[in-house]
Structure 1
């Protein structure tokens, strides 16, 4: 079927948009991928920069630097075409620093050493730079060529990568296939990359080269984050790419984005700003530019928790420091010590501030002294502005270049402490960053900080995919709670972890009965049993948090859960001894394995005399305090351990700590056993709304809040304010009842049924088949239909993955619903069969992790189960030398399931071909021939007899090539050197000489077990030159006289680069001590 709109149509439309934006266009199409006549003026196809453009603009932007030094630096960049993907992270970070900060150049001038900065881009004047949008640029890798759809070059450097898919294709394929493959095959292209864009017209996603697809984002708002977006129209009319181009690709905007909105976490993880962060921070920057007119009130920056507010704060500070001249002091203020520590870590880990440039005062006195100095960064809590209440707070500084950034501007900011801060630094500039709405304190906040400069609500965040939706279920114990639990005064008191004497007395007297009910032994016991039953049986096994009413209840709950956890493991062991059911045994073992892997911990703040206080309740805090301060073998504290998704610490028990400013994306479940309201409630539930995915757990599509105190009344009110809705009729709560998740599961399954029907597969007919053998045959026939083309196969995988993710998110709640799971089980069975067939497919986020186990909690009458086909052979281990090609092809042609047989053969060929290419890159022609066979398969050529003849010939040739080293009496290592040294028109005698040269060279380099090659020889120029000299010496003596000077130089350089790349990638020639 011919698509009405093709990739080429979309590509040409985008190039026209770039032309309208003032970009130069380059069509680099060539008939052959090796041709250098593509308009890029590169010397080799491995090079990724436009050399002439880079040199021209390096000279233009740096007139005061000697030309010879400019040429030297430019040549170093041009020749940096290492094919080692392991270097990619380091290279990308280093080159980003060069882009935004320039390259320091030292040279002598008039006998004095000069240091100047060579600029690669003029960020101040966009018109001084070259912007080129190039299409169809072939780039050579180690074993073949890749051709990105569009590359955006700035001053000859490839900074933006664009991949396009047909409108009928899933946009995720551009990530899972094209981006993943190109990063592997041509990693050098991404050394300078700052942004990756993938589009099929309907949907356009952008992100960093190293983030997962779940972190890719849309760009649909052009000037303001509050713009109302008609997503349906954008999708239907294929406008998404136009929105991104208009919103981000104008020259000034793109330069601004590259310079100010890209961060690296620990010089490793690249973080690029999303649409709302770019717009929001720039609105805040505009307010800063107009600070004189705003009388020190820079506004309120409200971006919902989980949407990247902390990184927005970092970007805001960095942009001011880069773009505004001055000696600014940034005072970052929080109202809790744990928030203060979190804030410091964000700034240090992103490299925006170094330890030497910032101070965290230990006392109010030290803070007051610091504010009289010119230190650049100060982190403090508002409590350090306490002062003798009988004295006026002293004037500390009248400077106007102190910028006060208040994080989570809540009630403490509007009392005496805030007044003291303003008395001490009256001319400072004040801005508030908050992740929660202002609610009742709105006008007071505006009085202090000014009107909002940016707003991004919970619903905005979910709609944009910046956070995941939250679902809510009530599991209230049978013990009744009295109305005092919803009393505002009571909630305000228990909101705090540290209480004043007055507050403690009020709790002990006025609200004693309420607390006693909350902490009743039988009530806690019931909640603990639910947690133990629920936590291991979830589908997405993210981390969890249990939130209790106070510190003592927190430890009590930990003890209860530990008690029932051990009981459950003992019960599992007992059932394992009793059951004869294989399925039940597997399910029990799975549950037990998870439970044995889970560590738990109590996280509560320390206070003086705490041991005695806990002992009054019969509790021991010492073991928990010891665990709290325990660091692991890598020196990580408990916070870092919980943030690590692979660490065994999976479940924590808290009351106030870690409920604000604490970002752990892998947290997916909250057990809420503490009455809360407004800000506190929103901060708590937002712990579960972060976007997250990994290969082990899959994709987190939602967070789950389990309410044990029936707090929905307050939750509904808080969410109404938080979501930005003012009328009950308009209210679309961002936290939904879990029933709606079950509805999503049903709708997704219906989508799968319709997709299969479009391929003439009737899933209901298969599940209703009476005999097991009949079900097996029908299921196999269905798989055969699905794998008829790679596109159908990929779409089936994505549908299956989505269905499984929603099913996982519904567990274990789904077990309490009347849901027929037979279709789901059939799809999983087909997926498992396909999983074996496509084991080498690199579809990262779409890979289906099939559950082999049955859900023993579901009514057995509703189970769909097919016995494994014992005759199926999905994992061929036969060697090429043993393969009878004629009989194999004949068997495939006669098979009832031709497509399945061909997929098995393709897997076999791909495994062998990849291994052969890893040994010898000159076999790339086989990869090109195989690619044509795959294209024929997808075009339906299997109905043609010629296709099988071509396939037969290819496998025979591959078999012959696999045995060639033995036939030539060479090792595989010698053979690849021989192939690289060969040239055209050699006599038989000369071929023997070349073969001998290859053998001599290999043994010269690897003599005495490689001691000629020093360890890490490829890192320094002197040992590299030694290796190059050895190659030239051996080949000069051994090669035939027909290798003239030009050929000889080309061959020695080719051999040296081959050996160098092998060493860098750890695949040979590494050297020994």
Structure 2
């Protein structure tokens, strides 16, 4: 898939030769094979991952810093979704295997239980013998006290109350995930006092904030680098590379937003909320925000928001083919939203399975909360089904679980009804920025989307305490896409709309055929149209679009005509995205449908030439129509090599026509000649009583002066009958080729002709699958 390809950058920007030489250098390729491939499990399947350039650079920087005798600190910021876990795994492995490290201890400190399990599985897949899981404080202290050499995976909080000078070796390397959290209490003090000579490399998925917490992170990990970071892969870098997608937000209607004074007083202006780095920490702050939570969980508001979410999802998100999160302020809000959504969907005649709730249950929960407790098996099934395009649920209702570490590329929209800020906000909204591509459906996710029911994004400077350039890269107002759509319609569309004078009549069709005869011109139009169409799909339905709808529908009609005329394959269900298709169906008039009918295939027979001559329209349209008709006829008779060869010749005529190597009248004459030749062939074939395959073989043998051509062609036909699945089975194909070859070989005086005859036959027949 294209989404699994990545750009290789070089210092000399734009120097392709330098880029190729640097990437393809033998040491570089061997380095990738030896050091930068990870096998990891996803959705219960083992996958192979090759690290991207920013990951390999961070691994090299981490190993270099760890082995530097003069420096002991480093901070790596790789934005959410850019593969930070694999970077840590490879850095740990490289350090463990490095001879200069002299049998080291490598500590991998993880901040979540589920990530700890995944990390252990991935490290085990590397085949490392020295791997330990410190599942308790006592076990961790014992391993370090006993001077264990190898990799230790543990949770960050296992360092609580660690004794001073527990191990004073210098070849201890500590890799800390989500390092911005370790400065929030005494954990850093215990850790660094217990391992005073260790090297500490901090990893973070969010930029370091401008609060006291952020200053502490730089002081702890970034003190030995001029700009605070040992290696940085910012949000802007990630979006530019396509590692993650841009994020756009939209505010919900005012009546559903939290009153500004309540949001400010009980959340945004609280000193303890600044730099909040953990959802558990955020939840403690929200527990005290009584008025805020009462507003968010008001019965009437829950009903109103649920109805809005249901309608928005069905009108805006589901037609795009993606899924959504609804984030409630707490577990009770999630349960209330589930009931409310079920009622709305039932009212619409839709199944309640469209949504599911996922949160952690407790034994002392209320009856309402216990209603949505999940056992581990059920939760795994929900997670897996959510990642599938055609399976329920379509909306997951969450509050804490799945807001970190859960990757579902098909997730496009987040309905945010929980006040969040700084790191917690970034980690949450990053769930929707994962790239997704489905080649079978020609679907490429354009960006992630957040619909804010709280009002957080109305005060971005307060909600995100990061440098302004980082904030600008993080999330943008959806209004910008409306401006972009209008600008494209005003700047790009008029040149195309001006080609239509009489509502897609014959003259208009001829104009389009001639104007887009040049393949590069078509390519540019297709690109521009698809960009405009995707913007329409994202924005629609919206009153903003009304003044532009007629022009967009006409532009879509032009696209349909040109694509149908010149593309080799145009599946009807993929010609347009879903919302655009509905608009076109409503807007296309009878005359437009008639105009499109001009390009419908005609039957190839003795009357075809006169039929085409009698048709209205210019010769350019007739050339395209004939090529399409011949291809369709060959597709319908894919066992006839003559027709397959005829379709190949027709394609060559069209290519020559498009490149203006052949005039329109010359192209039409060549196609007419091909049809006449086919009629002569059909008459000869009928006289012999052969089918298409047998007659083609007979004519080939006759031309090659093979003895007894009628008998040989009959034997070859029998061989094809004996191996009907030869296109799907390599063994059957091999046996069939052998029998065909032996049949000709037995009657051929010039043996060097045998292989070319067999090759031509099978080449044509195998092309049949690609006709049309």
Q: TM-score, normalised by structure 1?
A: 0.60
Q: Does the aligned pair in 1 maintain the 2:327–2:415 contact within 8 Å?
A: yes
Tell me, yes or no, if structure 1 residue 743 matches structure 2 residue 483: yes
Tell me, yes or no, if structure 1 residue 939 matches structure 2 residue 659: yes
**Structure 1 residue 958: Cα displacement:** 5.1
**Structure 1 residue 779: Cα displacement:** 5.8
1:899 to 604, 607, 620: 620
Secondary structure class of the residue paired with 2:179: coil
2:234 to 449, 457, 463: 457
Tell me, yes or no, if structure 1 residue 484 matches structure 2 residue 228: no
1:621 to 357, 361, 370: 370
CA distance in 2, matches of 1:750, 1:948: 38
CA distance in 1, matches of 2:608, 2:546: 52
1:193 — aligned with what? none
CA distance in 2, matches of 1:264, 1:361: 23
Tell me, yes or no, if structure 1 residue 445 matches structure 2 residue 213: no
Tell me, yes or no, if structure 1 residue 334 matches structure 2 residue 110: yes
Secondary structure class of the residue paired with 1:749: helix
Secondary structure class of the residue paired with 1:721: coil
**Structure 1 residue 651: Cα displacement:** 1.1
Tell me, yes or no, if structure 1 residue 467 matches structure 2 residue 467: no
Secondary structure class of the residue paired with 2:361: coil
**Structure 1 residue 898: Cα displacement:** 3.8
2:163 — aligned with what? 392
Tell me, yes or no, if structure 1 residue 890 matches structure 2 residue 618: no
**Structure 1 residue 732: Cα displacement:** 3.9
2:296 — aligned with what? 518
Deviations 1:389-436 (A, max 9, x none): 5x73783x6666654332222324664444444566555543222110
Gaps of 5+ in 2: none
**Shift in CA distance, 428/782, structure 1 to aligned 2, threshold 3 Å:** farther
2:749 — aligned with what? 1042
1:556 to 327, 332, 336: 336
Q: Does the aligned pair in 2 maintain the 1:996–1:1038 contact within 8 Å?
A: no
CA distance in 1, matches of 2:170, 2:693: 69
Moved more, 841-850 or 246-255: 841-850
Q: How does 1:952-967 map to 2 (within 5 A)?
A: 952-957=672-677
**Structure 1 residue 933: Cα displacement:** 1.0
Q: How does 1:711-860 map to 2 (within 5 A)?
A: 711-712=456-457, 715-717=460-462, 719=464, 721=466, 724=469, 732=472, 734-756=474-496, 761-762=497-498, 774=503, 780=509, 783-812=512-541, 814-816=542-544, 819-838=547-566, 840-841=568-569, 848-849=576-577, 851-854=580-583
2:597 — aligned with what? 873
Q: How does 1:58-77 map to 2 (within 5 A)?
A: none
Q: Does the aligned pair in 2 maintain the 1:495–1:656 contact within 8 Å?
A: no
2:11 — aligned with what? 222
Q: Does the aligned pair in 1 maintain the 2:356–2:397 contact within 8 Å?
A: yes
Deviations 1:221-272 (A, max 9, x none): 528xxxxxxxxxx7xxxx4635744663555445545654566766887755
CA distance in 2, matches of 1:547, 1:874: 52
CA distance in 1, matches of 2:128, 2:757: 49
Q: Does the aligned pair in 2 maintain the 1:602–1:654 contact within 8 Å?
A: yes
Q: Does the aligned pair in 1 maintain the 2:623–2:654 contact within 8 Å?
A: no
Structure with greater contact order relative to length (CA < 8 Å, sep ≥ 6): 2
Tell me, yes or no, if structure 1 residue 211 matches structure 2 residue 2: yes
**Shift in CA distance, 870/458, structure 1 to aligned 2, threshold 3 Å:** closer
1:194 — aligned with what? none
Q: Does the aligned pair in 2 maintain the 1:302–1:434 contact within 8 Å?
A: yes
Tell me, yes or no, if structure 1 residue 630 matches structure 2 residue 378: yes
Secondary structure class of the residue paired with 1:854: helix
Tell me, yes or no, if structure 1 residue 248 matches structure 2 residue 23: yes
Deviations 1:714-749 (A, max 9, x none): 633465626656xxxxx7454222221111111221
Q: Which has the higher helix share?
A: 2
Q: Does the aligned pair in 2 maintain the 1:221–1:243 contact within 8 Å?
A: yes
**Shift in CA distance, 907/931, structure 1 to aligned 2, threshold 3 Å:** closer
Q: TM-score, normalised by structure 2?
A: 0.80
Q: How does 1:498-509 map to 2 (within 5 A)?
A: none
Q: Does the aligned pair in 2 maintain the 1:997–1:1038 contact within 8 Å?
A: no
**Structure 1 residue 853: Cα displacement:** 1.9
CA RMSD of aligned residues (A): 4.7
CA distance in 2, matches of 1:621, 1:963: 79
**Structure 1 residue 673: Cα displacement:** 1.2
CA distance in 1, matches of 2:416, 2:768: 50
Q: Does the aligned pair in 2 maintain the 1:993–1:1038 contact within 8 Å?
A: no
**Shift in CA distance, 272/496, structure 1 to aligned 2, threshold 3 Å:** closer
Q: Does the aligned pair in 2 maintain the 1:978–1:995 contact within 8 Å?
A: yes
